[in-house]
Amino acid sequence: MKRISLLSPRLANQIAAGEVVERPASVVKELVENSIDAGATRVDIDVESGGVKLIKIRDNGSGILKDDLALALSRHATSKITELEDLEAVASLGFRGEALASISSVSRLSLTANTEGQTEAWSVRVEGRDMEPVLSPASHPTGTTIEVRDLFYNTPARRKFLRTEKTEFGHLEEVIKRIALSHFDINFQLRHNQRVIHQLRSAHSALEKDRRVATVCGPAFLEQAVCIDAQAGDMRLWGWVGLPTFSRSQADLQFFFVNGRVIRDKLVSHAVRQAYRDVLYNGRHPAFVLYLELDPAGVDVNVHPTKHEVRFRDSRAVHNFLFSQLHHALAEVSPEHHLISQNLAEKELEIKAKDNTAAGVFAGQQAIDWSQSREHTNGVASDKTEKPSIFQTEDTPVQYASTPNKHSSGLASKRWEQNTSPSTQQVSEKIAGWQRLDNSAEEVWHELQNKEVAHGEVPPLGFAIAQLKGVYILAENEHGMVLVDMHAAHERITYERMKVAYAGEGIKTQPLLVPESIAISEREADCAEEHKALFKTLGFQVARMGPETLVIREIPAILGKQNVKPLVTAVITDLMEYGASDRIEAHINEILATMACHGSVRANRRLTAAEMNALLRDMESTERSGQCNHGRPTWTQLTMTELDKLFLRGR
């Protein structure tokens, strides 16, 4: 048996490099994060051959003292933490002290730095088997320059795993994009083979931040995104979330940052999926750029060598905060918000065309509080005479009232109300009792329509003009033409009202004649017993009958004769992994969605002008009306500019 011996410094560093340095992109990530921690306001990245031949990073940060240069290339040498208390609340991007030593063990690395207090700059490089640092004087302004040449030259097995130059540069470019999105106040320049790829100037104003996001994610994302900024306790969530209609075939436009650090976390992904579940088309992925800020002591970043993963100390609170804020932000999107965003984009183009110096004025306009704009619009709408509803029947009058939405931070939202709380059955009966309005109602409607046009108060979705092939509604608003899929729109309206009705009457339970038992692990049984009260609020009565046995005595009445064992097991799995679960609510919503789909107006159903206009008004006051229950869009807008382009007008 071989004797135990210490590894050589180079071999130990190369083993560490196997965890930290996966490809050129990994090198760039570690070195750029060091520049940011050094307080740099400008970072230049110059690479050749996808980063395999050369990676050169220069910054204007605080630099490194001459006496610390050799130590900087040693393992576990860092200036960012000194004791255990620092590790428990890390505020810097790097802290392990392994990056430079690991990178220098698999490449030819030179480090040149200067500080404000030094009269000259110094350079250090490591040579030989024992990686002895060699110092030499150099010429360099305040800051640091690192050159990494011939990556993996001494580990050919690792080099064989590298992909083509284009692929490796693609990964490297993605790293720069993520870092640029997390630090708006820093100038970034990326050059590949002596050609400038990205020149990102520092962004301080709201307009400049929008431009950087548009540069990195594309203008289409910014045009189809909703701004969010919410705070609860010491947690703040802000950024941009893409509309459900701007979904992707893969998760390639998802950026999430925790205290400025790029992360990929399954808890975050689960919360986002839940928020989009009701509006996203099956198999599609949402797009977002989100920033979570919280106390550094509330997140553990020391769980992975590359620091891509984190662990939240109160994972349940973080999950619930993310889900609730994103869910509400998506619910509040209405046709009016689409038009506001469109107006802002058109104004920006006009201002740019007239005078580039007027961009600051537009930035001020763009900073208008969305809630004020919405409240003002809702306030105006509430003063108008109410219009007949397509759900109105003679025996049960329906009224619209501007009441605060409990989910929307004080925003005004029109709610469908009755004198008594409607039941699910009553809503279904109203759906089945869809009726054409008589001629007198149409006359009243046209009178109201003419009055609104005379006062210049055209609703966001405008007024119906015609019905196309019994499927689509053509409407005209201030911006041009609106095209509505009447079945999809009515399906969402019906679905949201059924959810409100179901929530109003509460979850009715029914006892099982023969209780059902579930065989699970002891750990799962402990979790179910701990969350017995939660199951009770969801309509389930579960009891523990043994170390690895649960029995179900009551279930929600709406589930009927369905097999609830897999549902209970899935809820327990979610509780163990994420600390929360909404699978039961999601399952109930699926049933309501099916009922709403079958109860909505079908194709080839001829509607009167009053019915079509009433449907448009209902869309404007319904949450998530931009998508049907299956995630398909319910309406689209064609502006006069877009129509003119189709017919080459103005050329």
CATH number at residue 500: 3.30.1370.100
Q: Identify the segments of the chain with pLDDT beneath 50.
A: 349, 351-353, 355-421, 431, 433-442, 444-445, 448
Q: Is residue 401 part of a domain?
A: no
- Whether the Cβ atoms of residue 490 and residue 391 lie closer than 8 Å to each other: no
Q: Is residue 131 part of a domain?
A: yes
Alpha carbon distances (Å) from 256 to 203, 265, 296, 357, 620 = 19, 9, 16, 33, 31
What is the predicted pLDDT for the residue at 480?
A: 92
Q: Is residue 572 part of a domain?
A: yes
What is the predicted pLDDT for the residue at 427?
A: 52
Tokens of 515: 């209780």
Whether 119 and 250 map to the same domain: the answer is: no
Alpha carbon distances (Å) from 600 to 394, 395, 416, 430 = 20, 21, 17, 10
What is the predicted pLDDT for the residue at 402?
A: 32
Cα angle value 635/638/400 (rounded, 5°): 40
Whether 320 and 430 map to the same domain: the answer is: no
Total of domains in the chain:
3
Q: Is residue 409 part of a domain?
A: no
Whether 645 and 506 map to the same domain: the answer is: yes
Q: What is the DSSP string of 585-613?
A: HHHHHHHHHHHHHHHSPPTT----HHHHH
Instruction: Give the residue numbers spanning the domain of 150.
Output: 9-197
Q: Is residue 436 part of a domain?
A: yes
Residue where a domain terminates, one of 287, 312, 331: 331
Whether 116 and 141 map to the same domain: the answer is: yes
Q: Is residue 355 part of a domain?
A: no
What is the predicted pLDDT for the residue at 651?
A: 74
Whether 191 and 222 map to the same domain: the answer is: no
Q: Is residue 88 part of a domain?
A: yes
Whether 177 and 138 map to the same domain: the answer is: yes
What is the predicted pLDDT for the residue at 172?
A: 96
Q: Phi and psi dihedrals of 497, rounded to 5?
A: -70, -35
Whether 109 and 215 map to the same domain: the answer is: no
Whether 255 and 274 map to the same domain: the answer is: yes
Residue where a domain terminates, one of 173, 197, 221: 197
Whether 40 and 174 map to the same domain: the answer is: yes
Alpha helices in 83-218 (DSSP H): 84-87, 99-105, 156-159, 165-182, 206-217
Q: Is residue 237 part of a domain?
A: yes
Distance CA 423, CA 504 (A): 8
Whether 193 and 213 map to the same domain: the answer is: no
Whether 481 and 613 map to the same domain: the answer is: yes
Whether 192 and 265 map to the same domain: the answer is: no
Residue where a domain terminates, one of 265, 297, 331: 331
